Amino acid sequence: MNAGNIDTLPRERFPRHIAIIMDGNGRWAAERRRNRLFGHRHGINAVREAVRECRRLNISHLTLYAFSMENWKRPPTEVAGLWRLLKSYVQTELKELRDNGVRLNVIGRVELIPKDVRDAIDYTLRETAACRDMVLTIALSYGSRDEILTAVRDLARRVKAESLDADAIDEQTIDRALWTADMPDPDLLIRTSGEFRISNFLLWQLAYTEIHVTPTLWPDFSKKDLHAAILDFAGRERRFGLTGEQIKKGMKDEG
């Protein structure tokens, strides 16, 4: 299902949680013979539109991969510019987030982020804490292997302290040890710019996520692209290891 009207799509066909790898800012800027920060600045407009449209569509969770652990290796001027943009975003968007019931959430090594940026993030986190209509999670200084390693170390310490039985560790135990403990796994992952990688993003959580790749560079990503991804998702049969026949039988039994 890659064509149709998003507003006539049955509610049960929508993803509950959308995650996006926002890629292509640098290439977008290079095509215009501008520096990479020019692309990042225009990428903020795409973030704003995606958040607004997900809220309008009653998507309960939107997670954006904004800055990876690997991004620290980029030129210092670009990294500093990215943090300035993020600080400006959380400050200028606060009123709209709060007015629309959107709670900000952050995952990653936030202790590595410049203090003035952390302070701005912390303020917006506090000011939107009571919002209940949608959760906007921004992955900052984030790496999924680091997240999993941190969880494993925490569980190992609990086993050593005899507060956790090693044989009792199951998938739910690991889920609760991750930075995403209070979030459902993504139903739909969108990657822009045509790259077929997940780039160390939510490796555990994406186990059964549907993946949609678009050639659109992130600054050009519009609600039309978001709609196309959701409609693509809606046309897929999510089997979770079962056969198509089992899924259909289960649907009949429920009916």
| 41 alpha-carbon distance from chain centroid | 19
Reply yes or no on whether 116 is catalytic.
no
Reply yes or no on whether 23 is catalytic.
yes
Q: How far apart are CA 167 and CA 162, in angstroms?
A: 12
Q: Which two tokens stand for residue 227?
A: 């709609």
- The owner of tokens 């400050």 is 91
Angle, vertex CA 102, rays to CA 195 and CA 119, nearest 5:
85
- Which helix (H) or strand (E) covers residue 107, if one does? strand 102-107
Q: How far apart are CA 163 and CA 165, in angstroms?
A: 7
Q: Which two tokens stand for residue 178?
A: 């991750």
Percent of the chain that is helix, strand, coil (3-state, to 5): 50, 15, 35
Could you say which of 35, 45, 71, 200 is catalytic? 71
Answer yes or no: are the C-beta atoms of 189 and 206 closer than 8 Å. Answer: yes
Q: How far apart are CA 188 and CA 57, in angstroms?
A: 15
Could you tell me which residues are beta bridge partners of residue 67? 140
The residue among 44, 27, 74, 1 whose CA lies nearest residue 195 is 27
Answer yes or no: are the C-beta atoms of 120 and 138 closer than 8 Å. Answer: no
The residues that are catalytic are 23, 71
